[in-house]
Amino acid sequence: MEQIMSNWISSELVDSITYTIIQSMWQGAIIALITFILFQWRGKHNPILKHKIALLGVASLFVCALVTFVSSYMMGVTTDVTAMVGTVSEWTANIIILDEGALTLSNTWIGYLWILGVTVFSIKFLMDIGIVQYIRYSAIENEESKEYKSKLDSLQQGINTSVVLKVSNIIQATVTIGFFKPIILFPVGMLTQLTLLEVESILRHEMAHIIRKDYLMNIIQSIMEIVLFYHPLVWWLSKVAREERE
Protein backbone atom coordinates (compact mmCIF):
# COMPACT_ATOMS: atom_id res chain seq x y z
CA MET A 1 0.00 0.00 0.00
CA GLU A 2 2.81 2.37 0.90
CA GLN A 3 4.53 1.91 -2.47
CA ILE A 4 1.29 2.45 -4.39
CA MET A 5 0.29 5.59 -2.49
CA SER A 6 3.83 7.04 -2.65
CA ASN A 7 3.38 7.34 -6.41
CA TRP A 8 0.51 9.77 -5.88
CA ILE A 9 1.41 11.53 -2.62
CA SER A 10 4.64 13.39 -1.92
CA SER A 11 6.89 12.11 0.85
CA GLU A 12 7.01 15.62 2.35
CA LEU A 13 3.24 15.59 2.81
CA VAL A 14 3.27 12.14 4.42
CA ASP A 15 6.15 13.20 6.68
CA SER A 16 4.15 16.21 7.89
CA ILE A 17 1.03 14.11 8.46
CA THR A 18 2.98 11.55 10.48
CA TYR A 19 4.70 14.26 12.48
CA THR A 20 1.33 15.93 13.18
CA ILE A 21 -0.22 12.67 14.39
CA ILE A 22 2.69 12.06 16.77
CA GLN A 23 2.54 15.59 18.14
CA SER A 24 -1.24 15.45 18.56
CA MET A 25 -0.88 12.62 21.07
CA TRP A 26 0.68 14.82 23.77
CA GLN A 27 -1.38 17.83 22.68
CA GLY A 28 -4.53 15.75 23.13
CA ALA A 29 -3.36 14.55 26.55
CA ILE A 30 -3.05 18.15 27.75
CA ILE A 31 -6.41 19.14 26.28
CA ALA A 32 -8.04 16.04 27.82
CA LEU A 33 -6.73 16.99 31.28
CA ILE A 34 -7.96 20.59 30.95
CA THR A 35 -11.33 19.45 29.62
CA PHE A 36 -11.79 16.94 32.43
CA ILE A 37 -11.05 19.65 35.01
CA LEU A 38 -13.57 22.01 33.35
CA PHE A 39 -16.18 19.23 33.30
CA GLN A 40 -15.78 18.70 37.04
CA TRP A 41 -15.55 22.39 37.88
CA ARG A 42 -18.21 24.01 35.68
CA GLY A 43 -19.98 21.46 33.51
CA LYS A 44 -20.95 18.73 35.95
CA HIS A 45 -24.51 20.01 36.47
CA ASN A 46 -24.82 22.22 33.39
CA PRO A 47 -25.50 20.24 30.18
CA ILE A 48 -25.34 23.31 27.93
CA LEU A 49 -21.96 24.38 29.28
CA LYS A 50 -20.69 20.80 29.20
CA HIS A 51 -21.69 20.58 25.54
CA LYS A 52 -19.75 23.77 24.76
CA ILE A 53 -16.69 22.58 26.68
CA ALA A 54 -16.68 19.28 24.78
CA LEU A 55 -16.89 21.02 21.40
CA LEU A 56 -14.19 23.46 22.47
CA GLY A 57 -11.94 20.53 23.35
CA VAL A 58 -12.38 18.93 19.91
CA ALA A 59 -11.89 22.28 18.17
CA SER A 60 -8.75 23.00 20.21
CA LEU A 61 -7.13 19.72 19.17
CA PHE A 62 -8.17 20.33 15.55
CA VAL A 63 -6.54 23.78 15.57
CA CYS A 64 -3.39 22.41 17.24
CA ALA A 65 -3.13 19.66 14.63
CA LEU A 66 -3.73 22.11 11.78
CA VAL A 67 -1.07 24.55 13.03
CA THR A 68 1.39 21.69 13.57
CA PHE A 69 0.80 20.32 10.08
CA VAL A 70 1.10 23.68 8.31
CA SER A 71 4.23 24.71 10.21
CA SER A 72 5.94 21.33 9.74
CA TYR A 73 5.10 21.22 6.03
CA MET A 74 6.31 24.77 5.40
CA MET A 75 9.53 24.39 7.39
CA GLY A 76 10.18 20.81 6.33
CA VAL A 77 9.98 18.15 9.01
CA THR A 78 13.06 16.02 9.65
CA THR A 79 12.87 12.46 8.38
CA ASP A 80 15.10 11.09 11.13
CA VAL A 81 13.20 10.29 14.30
CA THR A 82 16.32 10.50 16.44
CA ALA A 83 16.70 14.13 15.42
CA MET A 84 13.21 14.87 16.69
CA VAL A 85 14.01 14.22 20.34
CA GLY A 86 14.69 17.90 20.79
CA THR A 87 11.17 18.80 19.70
CA VAL A 88 9.17 15.83 21.04
CA SER A 89 9.47 13.81 24.18
CA GLU A 90 11.85 10.86 24.44
CA TRP A 91 8.89 8.61 25.14
CA THR A 92 7.24 9.64 21.85
CA ALA A 93 10.45 9.17 19.91
CA ASN A 94 11.00 5.68 21.34
CA ILE A 95 7.61 4.54 20.06
CA ILE A 96 8.73 4.83 16.46
CA ILE A 97 12.29 3.55 16.83
CA LEU A 98 12.64 -0.06 15.74
CA ASP A 99 15.50 -2.40 16.70
CA GLU A 100 18.92 -0.91 16.01
CA GLY A 101 17.95 2.03 13.81
CA ALA A 102 15.44 4.83 13.65
CA LEU A 103 12.46 4.45 11.38
CA THR A 104 12.28 7.41 9.03
CA LEU A 105 9.00 9.26 8.94
CA SER A 106 8.86 9.15 5.15
CA ASN A 107 8.88 5.34 5.26
CA THR A 108 6.33 4.78 8.03
CA TRP A 109 2.80 3.56 7.42
CA ILE A 110 1.29 6.08 9.86
CA GLY A 111 0.73 8.85 7.34
CA TYR A 112 -0.55 6.51 4.66
CA LEU A 113 -2.93 4.83 7.10
CA TRP A 114 -4.29 8.24 8.10
CA ILE A 115 -4.95 9.11 4.44
CA LEU A 116 -6.75 5.79 3.98
CA GLY A 117 -8.82 6.33 7.12
CA VAL A 118 -9.80 9.87 6.13
CA THR A 119 -10.83 8.61 2.70
CA VAL A 120 -13.06 5.90 4.16
CA PHE A 121 -14.70 8.19 6.72
CA SER A 122 -15.16 10.93 4.11
CA ILE A 123 -16.99 8.54 1.80
CA LYS A 124 -19.24 7.46 4.68
CA PHE A 125 -19.89 11.11 5.57
CA LEU A 126 -20.88 11.99 2.00
CA MET A 127 -23.16 8.94 1.83
CA ASP A 128 -24.85 10.03 5.08
CA ILE A 129 -25.33 13.54 3.67
CA GLY A 130 -26.87 12.00 0.55
CA ILE A 131 -29.31 9.95 2.64
CA VAL A 132 -30.29 13.01 4.68
CA GLN A 133 -30.93 15.00 1.50
CA TYR A 134 -33.04 12.17 0.10
CA ILE A 135 -35.13 12.15 3.27
CA ARG A 136 -35.46 15.93 3.08
CA TYR A 137 -36.69 16.10 -0.50
CA SER A 138 -38.94 13.05 -0.26
CA ALA A 139 -40.83 14.52 2.71
CA ILE A 140 -44.25 16.03 2.07
CA GLU A 141 -46.74 18.44 3.60
CA ASN A 142 -50.10 16.83 4.29
CA GLU A 143 -53.20 17.65 6.30
CA GLU A 144 -51.46 16.49 9.48
CA SER A 145 -48.56 18.92 9.14
CA LYS A 146 -50.74 21.81 7.92
CA GLU A 147 -52.84 21.62 11.10
CA TYR A 148 -49.82 22.68 13.17
CA LYS A 149 -48.56 25.42 10.81
CA SER A 150 -49.96 28.22 12.98
CA LYS A 151 -48.39 26.73 16.09
CA LEU A 152 -45.02 26.45 14.33
CA ASP A 153 -45.34 30.05 13.08
CA SER A 154 -45.89 31.28 16.62
CA LEU A 155 -42.73 29.49 17.79
CA GLN A 156 -40.72 31.14 15.01
CA GLN A 157 -41.23 34.67 16.25
CA GLY A 158 -37.88 36.43 16.55
CA ILE A 159 -36.16 33.94 14.22
CA ASN A 160 -35.08 35.12 10.76
CA THR A 161 -35.08 31.61 9.31
CA SER A 162 -38.35 30.19 7.99
CA VAL A 163 -39.04 26.69 9.33
CA VAL A 164 -41.28 24.18 7.55
CA LEU A 165 -43.09 21.21 9.08
CA LYS A 166 -43.37 18.06 6.95
CA VAL A 167 -43.89 14.32 7.36
CA SER A 168 -41.82 11.40 6.07
CA ASN A 169 -42.48 7.68 5.71
CA ILE A 170 -38.74 6.92 5.99
CA ILE A 171 -37.86 8.18 9.47
CA GLN A 172 -38.86 6.59 12.79
CA ALA A 173 -38.44 9.65 15.04
CA THR A 174 -38.68 13.42 14.79
CA VAL A 175 -35.66 15.10 13.21
CA THR A 176 -34.62 18.55 12.03
CA ILE A 177 -32.74 18.86 8.75
CA GLY A 178 -31.08 21.89 7.19
CA PHE A 179 -29.39 25.11 8.22
CA PHE A 180 -30.44 27.81 5.75
CA LYS A 181 -33.90 26.31 5.20
CA PRO A 182 -34.55 24.01 8.16
CA ILE A 183 -37.32 21.43 8.04
CA ILE A 184 -38.85 19.65 11.02
CA LEU A 185 -39.87 16.13 10.04
CA PHE A 186 -42.36 13.86 11.78
CA PRO A 187 -42.93 10.21 10.90
CA VAL A 188 -46.13 9.71 8.93
CA GLY A 189 -49.06 9.18 11.31
CA MET A 190 -47.23 10.38 14.41
CA LEU A 191 -48.98 13.77 14.57
CA THR A 192 -52.41 12.12 14.79
CA GLN A 193 -51.27 9.92 17.69
CA LEU A 194 -50.03 12.78 19.88
CA THR A 195 -51.88 15.42 21.85
CA LEU A 196 -51.52 19.11 21.07
CA LEU A 197 -49.31 19.61 24.13
CA GLU A 198 -47.05 16.73 23.13
CA VAL A 199 -46.64 18.08 19.59
CA GLU A 200 -45.94 21.56 20.93
CA SER A 201 -43.30 20.16 23.29
CA ILE A 202 -41.57 18.34 20.42
CA LEU A 203 -41.71 21.45 18.23
CA ARG A 204 -40.13 23.55 20.98
CA HIS A 205 -37.38 20.95 21.34
CA GLU A 206 -36.66 20.95 17.60
CA MET A 207 -36.79 24.75 17.44
CA ALA A 208 -34.15 24.84 20.17
CA HIS A 209 -31.87 22.80 17.86
CA ILE A 210 -32.50 25.32 15.07
CA ILE A 211 -31.83 28.35 17.29
CA ARG A 212 -28.54 26.81 18.49
CA LYS A 213 -27.63 25.95 14.86
CA ASP A 214 -27.05 22.34 15.89
CA TYR A 215 -27.33 21.02 12.32
CA LEU A 216 -24.41 23.18 11.17
CA MET A 217 -22.43 22.43 14.32
CA ASN A 218 -22.97 18.71 13.77
CA ILE A 219 -21.52 18.94 10.25
CA ILE A 220 -18.48 20.90 11.50
CA GLN A 221 -18.04 18.39 14.32
CA SER A 222 -18.24 15.50 11.84
CA ILE A 223 -15.51 17.05 9.68
CA MET A 224 -13.23 17.43 12.69
CA GLU A 225 -13.95 13.82 13.64
CA ILE A 226 -12.91 12.68 10.15
CA VAL A 227 -9.58 14.52 10.36
CA LEU A 228 -8.89 13.34 13.92
CA PHE A 229 -10.50 9.90 13.66
CA TYR A 230 -7.42 8.23 15.16
CA HIS A 231 -7.51 10.17 18.43
CA PRO A 232 -9.40 8.71 21.43
CA LEU A 233 -9.94 12.20 22.87
CA VAL A 234 -12.07 13.13 19.86
CA TRP A 235 -14.29 10.06 20.20
CA TRP A 236 -14.80 10.74 23.91
CA LEU A 237 -15.58 14.46 23.57
CA SER A 238 -17.75 13.95 20.48
CA LYS A 239 -19.82 11.38 22.37
CA VAL A 240 -20.24 13.81 25.27
CA ALA A 241 -21.18 16.67 22.92
CA ARG A 242 -23.86 14.64 21.13
CA GLU A 243 -25.33 13.33 24.38
CA GLU A 244 -25.54 16.79 25.94
CA ARG A 245 -26.90 18.33 22.71
CA GLU A 246 -30.08 16.33 23.11
> Which are the contacts of 231, defined by CB distance < 8 A and separation ≥ 6?
24, 25, 28, 61
pLDDT at 72: 85
Low-confidence residues in the chain, pLDDT < 50:
2, 79-107
Q: What pLDDT, on the 0 to 100 scale, is given for residue 25?
A: 92
Q: What pLDDT is stored for residue 8 in this prediction?
A: 65
Instruction: Note the helical H segments in 96-213.
Output: 110-138, 143-147, 149-155, 190-193, 196-211
pLDDT at residue number 99:
43
Q: Kindly report, residue by residue over 112-166, the tens digit of the pLDDT.
A: 889 999 999 999 999 999 999 999 988 888 777 777 777 777 777 667 778 888 8
Amino acid identity at 233: L
CA–CA distance, 159 with 81 (Å, rounded to integer): 55
- H or E element, residue 168: strand 164-168
pLDDT at 91: 42
Is-above-0.85 flag for pTM? no
At residue 142, the pLDDT reads: 77
Q: Which amino acid is present at 215?
A: Y
What's the pLDDT at 3? Answer: 53
| Residue-level pLDDT at 50 | 86
Alpha carbon distances (Å) from 175 to 18, 60, 61, 112, 187: 39, 29, 30, 37, 9
* Of 170, 73, 186, residue with least CA distance to 131: 170
- Structure confidence at residue 233 (pLDDT): 92
pLDDT value of residue 158: 64
